[in-house]
Amino acid sequence: MEKSNGLQVILFPLPLQGCINPMIQLAKILHSRGFSITVIHTCFNAPRASSHPFFKLLQIPDGLSEIETRSHDVNLMLTLLNERCESPFRDCLTKLLQAPDSETERKKQMISCLIHDSGWTFTEPLAKSLNLPRLVLNATKASFFRGHFALPQLHRERHLPLQDSEQEDPVREFPPLRKKDVYRLLDEESEVLDAYLNRIYDATKSSSGLIFMSCEELDQESLTQTRQDFQIPVFAIGPSHTRFPASSSSLLAPDETCIPWLDKQEDRSVIYVSFGSLVTISESELLEIAWGLSNSDQPFLWVVRVGMVNGIKWIEAIPEEVMEMLNKNGKIVKWAPQQEVLKHQAIGGYLTHNGWNSTVESVCEGVPMICLPFIWDQFLNARFVCDIWRVGLHLENRIERNEIEGTIRILFLEAKGEVIRERIELLKEKVGTSVKQNGSAYQCLESLVDHIFHLSS
Ligand code: UDP
């Protein structure tokens, strides 16, 4: 860490793996620039204190019951969290801001700002009443953030059944999504979402700045438009994991045996399969993926989280004879050290759900993707990967053994796969340049640090 600059930043992540990772990465970056860091977090999905010895971690009660913490309904969970965390967060923040006893203490503890996930919407009036500058971090791609405010309108129009001929039509309000993507994205959403999005919009517009883990090279048009729409400083500081590689913010213990197993495989021969921390699949989908992987004859490393398959504990639904075939050519783990895995020379492709963190991690390592989005921003990221950057192949939700086998073969064995591999190498270089000195993400990070300094003056 650089010498302390006497300023403190308070961070408040949403308790989801895909939101905790970028916030903790940002905390590490700011700490390396001399800021002292306080993280306010919920009991649910609390970061491990031992992994962050240099941060002050303050836990607030979130009021979630045991059953609620196991819910797969993310929107419901975010609604409950916003209702139940407001008062404990207010108490915690007020205490932190209470004037320290002596002048020396005051100087040591000057709080510069609060940086919270865009999904916390009650922070706006609270920070205002406490006269505390507030920045917003959004963990999705800027194009998703900007486009998803069109969802209430699309929601209202959605009652019409989608004709076959319309499936592939572009959605003008939310590019580059196609109508069928929006249809799936809105599948389980309700009016509650519309009100929530309005609150996110207002809380962002009245903030002192917006931070994305993206860069001009991946998001240029949307970043320009977001700056115009919101009229606040927007910082696209790049894929932050490139600055602090080891992911200490993992909520589950990664299976470290993945790496010695990968060491034994040939270069670029392994397909990595993971659907992140939230996606759930059915038992029959599990079996189709198992057969597809087995039939492809390509070595694979497959992450199946405990509880990821609806109705069963782990992978016990896979028949013994299929397991025997799978064990010959692959490895199934409950959680992987993903960033290290993607970096490994044995990895040649990633069958992914296209969460934004995973997508960017794959781009940064030049690993081409097979896209199988399930929820939320994953649909948009998959379209960028396949239609705009053309560094992956889309499964178009065909979770069938023949489709999976065939797509893996195209990626690993055919000329089309080779072209995709060349393209992602070029994209990797562009993004890599962005985070290096004088690159766009590098400059944005410098501006952000400068901005935080000035907020406190
Ligand atoms: N991840 C991991 N091990 C795994 C699967 C995922 O460390 O076995 C990490 C991954 O590197 C990424 C995060 O979990 O940083 C998942 O975030 P993402 O936005 O991709 O998806 P989400 O979990 O939010 O759907």
The pLDDT value given to residue 70:
85
Average pLDDT, the chain: 93
The pLDDT value given to residue 307:
93
Which residue's CA is the nearest one to ligand 1's atom 1?
A: 338
The pLDDT value given to residue 94:
94
Rounded mean pLDDT, 386-406: 98
Q: For domain 247-433, give its CATH number from 3.30.565.10, 3.40.50.2000, 3.90.1720.10, 2.40.40.20.
A: 3.40.50.2000
Q: Name the pLDDT band for 247 (thresholds 50, 70, 90).
A: low
The pocket around ligand 1, CB under 6 angstroms, is made up of 16-18, 21, 247, 250, 254, 274, 276-278, 303, 335-336, 338-339, 355-358, 361
Q: Which of 51-55, 69-73, 165-169, 221-225 has the highest mean pLDDT?
A: 221-225
Residue 394, beta-bridge partner list: 371
Stretch among 70-79, 135-144, 183-192, 317-326 having the lowest mean pLDDT = 183-192
pLDDT of 107 > 90? The answer is no
What is the Å distance from ligand 1's center to 102 Cα? 44
pLDDT of 105 > 70? The answer is no
Stretch among 71-80, 111-120, 162-171, 244-253 having the lowest mean pLDDT = 244-253
Atom of ligand 1 nearest to the CA of 358: 20
Which residue's CA is the nearest one to ligand 1's atom 6?
A: 276
pLDDT of 1 > 90? The answer is no
Interface pTM (ipTM) of the complex? Answer: 0.99
Cross-sheet strand order for the sheet of 347-352 = 330-333, 300-303, 270-274, 347-352, 369-371, 392-394
- Which amino acid makes up residue 158? R
Rounded mean pLDDT, 128-142: 97
**Burial letters for 420-443: b for 16+ Cβ neighbours within 10 Å, e otherwise?**
bbebbeebbebbbbbbeeebbbbb
pLDDT of 214 > 90? The answer is yes
Which residue's CA is the nearest one to ligand 1's atom 15?
A: 357
- 322 contacts 295 by C-beta, under 8 angstroms: no
pLDDT of 221 > 90? The answer is yes
What is the Å distance from ligand 1's center to 18 Cα? 6
Rounded mean pLDDT, 413-421: 98
Q: Name the pLDDT band for 194 (thresholds 50, 70, 90).
A: confident
The pLDDT value given to residue 351:
98
Rounded mean pLDDT, 305-317: 96
Bond into 176 cis (ω within 30): yes
Fold of 7-154+189-245+436-456: Rossmann fold (3.40.50)
Q: Where in the chain is the domain with CATH 3.40.50.2000?
A: 7-154+189-245+436-456, 247-433
What is the Å distance from ligand 1's center to 277 Cα? 6
pLDDT of 137 > 80? The answer is yes
* Greater model confidence, 39 or 72: 39
The pLDDT value given to residue 198:
94
The pLDDT value given to residue 3:
82
SS3 string, the chain, reads: CCCCCCEEEEEECCCCHHHHHHHHHHHHHHHHCCCEEEEEEECCCCCCHHHCCCCEEEEECCCCCHHHHCCCCHHHHHHHHHHHHHHHHHHHHHHHHCCCCCHHHHHHCEEEEEEEECCCCCHHHHHHHCCCCEEEEECCCHHHHHHHHHHHHHHHHCCCCCCHHHCCCECCCCCCCEHHHHHHHCCCCCHHHHHHHHHHHHHHHCCCCEEECCCHHHHHHHHHHHHHHHCCCEEECCCHHHCCCCCCCCCCCCCCCHHHHHHCCCCCCEEEEECCCCCCECHHHHHHHHHHHHHHCCCEEEECCCCCECCCCCCCCCCHHHHHHHHHHEEEECCCCHHHHHHCCCEEEEEECCCHHHHHHHHHCCCCEEECCCCCCHHHHHHHHHHHCCCEEECCCCCCHHHHHHHHHHHHHCHHHHHHHHHHHHHHHHHHHHHCCCCHHHHHHHHHHHHHHHHCC
Backbone phi, psi, residue 186, to 5°: -90, 0
